[in-house]
Amino acid sequence: MSALSPTQLPLAPLGAGDLIDRALRLYRRHLFVLIRTAAPPVIIVAAGWMLLSISFRQIFISSATSELFWNLFLLFAAIVIVTCGYLFVLVVMGGATRTLVAHLLRNDSVTARATYASVRARFWGLSLASLIVLIWVSASLLGSFLGFETVVGVTFLVTGLIAMVAPVWLAVIVGVIGTLAAIGLAIWVFFFIVARVAYVPQVMLVEGKGVFEAIGRSFSLARGNVRRLMAMTLFTTFATLSALMLLIVFLLIIGWLSGFNAANTGEWPAWYMTSYSIVGPLSSILLTPVWMLGLSLLYVDERVRHEGYDIELMAARQLGELPDVNVSSPLGTALYSMERKQPPPLPRSSGRVLNIR
């Protein structure tokens, strides 16, 4: 995608492939800026996972009770750090969307400083919204797991009945089809539920909504976005896993050259265990920006599809933004101002003193 000029705004409804393609093009153009933007929350997650892996391993080899309780405390602290890191990732996603919209609207530079300045302005509200989103995602996982268990249970029952009256190969085919159907149902249920809150941080920083108002707004925008959100998530997941496998293979080669059995975790030295703990977060640092860009573009695309947001952005670029007044309208400002409004000046005194008797 060529650089956007003040007179060019290539916005149109995007399919799943177009969405991924545009995210990758933006990622290539702003590679190091996006890595710097995504690095702080991912580093927090990495630190948490490192502490979790070390403390979990030490629990099973602790010789004293005090050492056991200390490792359990470190394990709990690691879980808290990982959770806070993932919350920070969601917070930064909202700031990244605001930076992208500002780039589309005013051709502003894409910088990590601009993203974190937006995040700082509404940090506590974004943190609360991200916590609600994280709880919602956990509930989505539970719902998808229950759907998976239901279909698998029915499949096993049907397979057992078929095996008693039909050839074994037919029961195997039915079992495989039922298992694949259960996996597909679980994935669809998860994305159908989680898609409702996919745009909460973006709405807060682009439209200036409050926490609960942004949740309602995300529900209204998330109509028909399940397939595109699923495609974006699966692409990013497979890309992250591919990068992770390459890093693990590289680490296994280093272990083999160092003279110990890398396949046996009991022989791992401390430096190797630490290195193994950070390969996952390292791959996430490289590919989390793609997920951020994809979700930001998906938010913009939903507004283009449902509200003609491309026309609104074009009008704002050519004619200037609409005045930021307290009017509830679908044609509000394209990007709300984060500057605090100054109170109106007090009326100037005329200097006369009334003599009332």
- For the chain, what is the mean pLDDT? 76
Query: What whole-number distance in Å separates Cα of residue 142 and Cα of residue 134?
Result: 13
Q: Please, are residues 16 and 227 in contact by the beta-carbon 8 Å criterion?
A: yes
Distance CA 201, CA 218 (A): 9
As given in the structure block, the two tokens for residue 41 are 């929350």
Inform me whether the pLDDT recorded for 341 exceeds 60. Answer: no
pLDDT at 351 over 60: no
pLDDT tens digits, one per residue of 73-95 = 888 998 889 888 888 888 887 78
- Domain-located, residue 127: yes
For residue 135, the enclosing domain spans 16-309
Q: Could you tell me how many helices (H) and strands (E) the chain has, helices first? A: 11, 0
Say whether pLDDT at 145 is over 50. yes
Question: What does the alpha-carbon distance between residue 133 and residue 192 come to, in Å, rounded to a whole number?
Answer: 14
Whether residue 11 lies inside any domain: the answer is no
DSSP helix/strand/coil, 125: helix
pLDDT for 357: 45
pLDDT in tens, 162-213: 888 778 888 888 888 888 888 888 888 888 888 888 888 888 888 888 888 8
Is the residue at 52 inside a domain? yes
Structural domain contains residue 112: yes
With respect to residue 335, please indicate whether it lies within any of the assigned structural domains: no
d(CA 133, CA 131): 5
Mean pLDDT for the stretch of residues 2-30: 66
Number of domains in the chain: 1
C-alpha 86/C-alpha 274 separation (Å) is 20
Q: Does the reported pTM lie above 0.85?
A: no
Burial (CB count within 10 angstroms: exposed 0-12, middle 13-18, buried 19+), residue 192: middle
Q: Across the chain, where does the E strand assignment appear?
A: none
Whether 348 maps to a domain, the answer reads no
* Mean pLDDT value of segment 273-298: 75
Domain assignment of residue 106, yes or no:
yes
Does 75 map to a domain?
A: yes
Most confident of 133-137, 230-234, 272-276, 286-290: 133-137
Cα separation, 313 vs 316, in Å, equals: 5
pLDDT above 70: percentage of residues in the chain: 76
Distance CA(102)–CA(104), nearest Å, equals 5
Structure confidence by residue, pLDDT tens digits, 227-280: 888 888 888 888 777 877 887 787 777 777 777 666 666 667 766 766 776 777
